[in-house]
């Protein structure tokens, strides 16, 4: 396993995976027909001789078992960025995968429709750096690789199927700004549609006084505990047949190996638990009593352990129709939210911290930060090369300068 270091509250991870859109020797993640457009970011054609805009837009596409997500950002000083556009759609790519072992035609068609929208947004924005990844559904499906090729042919997007370890590491990178500087260990979990990625970061003391301490990724795991999978395995047809007890038992069993490896974590006052997933953000929005979901309120908030238990208990007593009526859950998540809660409860029972940190960020942000950081290194390297190649005053004189 390759390490990632998290410097203070900013991610300083090593580039352990390729950025397929940021090297001229690699194929781009996006194909267009014909020559590249000479339009600027506003969509207007540049006049001859006009200098191109300096704005550099980056994009990341995350194709999961349940969702298709796009984020387009503008780099804003250092590792910061401003969101220029985003897109998210529940596609349920992994629907029926548990039983059949392959992606269904209906699920692939839904996903392709969403990816066409994402591709259109990327084209219009004139993105300069792009990376597109697919996770558990495409990893596990017998026709996953064939579907990725179909995506390329029909949308122009070059998707890369990443493994669970890479997925966990990218989520950690994306959540780095939420790390608490006052703890020794961080457990980060991402409950997806087909799998749950869980990681542990531990504080490392910097040998150099001028450098801050940093968090290092020391263990991670990807387990088949996705909300779609759990729901299909355990839920019954009745309005109250959520199958929660079975989902909780399976979650505890499958997470046990990772949890046991962290047996040295005993002081919960020195541990931070961060959840990043639709389950965790939905639970936070419900607990906060929001009239509708608001990322600006949810991202970075904390919920007391007592309120986590209370909200899960309230949701378990609701029928699917009642869950669907909640404006922060809705019909598309009504049959999935409790399966995610089962995973969440298993984690927080094992590590009973006083409060839970909530992140509406993760893999996409990790992809974007990696691309930006790689460009920063390249820029520094190029500046250094220009300085070394600049002629000295004596050389200039020998070549005819006054």
pLDDT tens track for 254-269: 999 999 999 999 999 9
Please check the confidence at residue 173 and state whether its pLDDT lies above 50: yes
- What is the arithmetic mean of pLDDT over 308-331? 95
Is the predicted pLDDT of residue 352 greater than 80, yes or no? yes
Q: Which candidate, 142, 136, 143, places its Cα nearest to that of 161?
A: 136
Task: Say what percent of the chain tops pLDDT 70.
Answer: 80
| pLDDT value at 146 more than 70 | yes
Cα dihedral 12→18→19→25 (10° resolution): 140
* pLDDT at position 81: 86
Buried b (16+ CB within 10 A) or exposed e, 234-261: bbeeeeeebbbeebbebbbebbeebbee
Can you give the pLDDT at residue 397? 31
Which of 56-60, 112-116, 252-256 is least confident?
56-60
Q: Count of alpha carbons within 13 Å of 91, Cβ hemisphere only?
A: 28
User: Per-residue confidence at 52, pLDDT binned at 50, 70, 90?
Assistant: very low
Nearest to 152 by CA among 183, 210, 112: 112
Can you tell me the mean pLDDT for 133-161? 96
Give the E-state strand segments of 258-325 in sequence order: 271-275, 302-304
**CA–CA separation, 307 vs 294, rounded Å?**
19
Joined together, the tokens standing for residue 53 give 């805009």
Tell me, what DSSP letter sits at residue 212?
P
Higher pLDDT, 379 or 72: 72
The pLDDT-based confidence of 23 (bands split at 50, 70, 90) is very low
Contacts of 61 (CB under 8 A, 6+ apart): 68, 69, 70, 115, 118, 130, 131, 132, 133, 157, 159, 364
Confidence class for position 389, pLDDT limits 50, 70, 90? low
Determine the pLDDT at residue 31: 44
pLDDT of residue 9: 37
Give the per-residue pLDDT at 29: 53
Q: In the beta sheet, which residues pair with residue 220?
A: 199
Give which of 58, 55, 77, 68 is closest to 116, Cα–Cα.
68
Give residue 80's pLDDT: 77
Higher pLDDT, 27 or 380: 380
Cα–Cα distance for residue pair 4/326, rounded to 1 Å? 39
Edge-to-edge, what's the strand order for the sheet holding 196-204?
A: 10-12, 5-7, 214-223, 196-204, 185-191, 271-275, 355-358, 302-304
Structural tokens at position 224: 């088949």
| Structural domains of the chain, ranges and CATH numbers in brackets | 166-358 (3.30.420.150)
Residue 376 pLDDT: 85
Confidence of residue 380 (pLDDT cuts 50, 70, 90): confident
């Amino acid at each position: 396993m390759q390490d990632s270091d998290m410097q203070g509250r900013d991610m300083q991870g090593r580039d352990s995976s390729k950025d397929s859109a940021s090297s001229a020797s690699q194929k781009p993640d996006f194909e267009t027909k014909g020559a590249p457009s000479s339009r600027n970011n506003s969509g207007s054609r540049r006049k001859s001789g006009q200098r191109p805009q300096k704005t550099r837009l980056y994009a990341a596409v995350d194709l999961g078992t349940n969702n298709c997500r796009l984020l387009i950002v503008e780099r804003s000083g250092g590792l910061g960025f401003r969101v220029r556009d985003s897109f998210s759609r529940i596609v349920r790519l992994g629907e029926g995968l548990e039983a059949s072992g392959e992606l269904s035609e209906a699920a692939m068609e839904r996903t392709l429709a969403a990816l066409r929208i994402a591709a259109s947004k990327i084209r219009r924005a004139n993105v300069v750096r792009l990376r597109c990844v697919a996770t558990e559904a495409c990893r596990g499906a017998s026709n996953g690789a064939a579907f990725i090729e179909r995506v390329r042919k029909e949308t122009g997007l070059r998707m890369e199927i990443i493994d669970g370890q890479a997925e966990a590491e990218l989520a950690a990178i994306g959540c780095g700004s939420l790390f608490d500087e006052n703890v020794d260990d961080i457990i980060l979990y991402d409950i997806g549609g087909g799998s749950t990625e869980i990681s542990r970061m531990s504080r490392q003391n910097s040998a150099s006084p001028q450098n801050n301490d940093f968090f290092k990724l020391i263990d991670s795991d990807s387990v088949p505990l996705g909300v779609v999978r759990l729901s299909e395995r355990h839920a019954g047809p009745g309005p109250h047949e959520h199958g929660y007890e079975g989902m909780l038992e399976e979650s505890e069993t499958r997470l046990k190996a990772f949890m046991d490896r962290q047996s040295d974590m005993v002081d919960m006052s020195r541990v931070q638990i961060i959840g990043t997933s639709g389950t965790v953000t939905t639970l936070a929005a419900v607990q906060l009593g929001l009239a509708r979901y608001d990322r600006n309120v949810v991202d970075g908030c904390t919920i007391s352990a007592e309120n986590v238990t209370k909200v899960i208990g309230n949701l378990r007593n609701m029928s699917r129709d009642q869950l669907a009526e909640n404006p922060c859950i809705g019909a598309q998540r009504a049959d999935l939210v409790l399966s995610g809660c089962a995973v969440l409860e298993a984690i927080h029972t094992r590590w009973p911290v006083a409060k839970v940190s909530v992140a509406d960020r993760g893999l996409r942000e990790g992809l974007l930060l990696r691309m930006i950081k790689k460009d920063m290194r390249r820029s520094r390297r190029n500046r250094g090369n220009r300085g070394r190649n600049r002629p000295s005053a004596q050389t200039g004189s020998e070549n005819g300068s006054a």
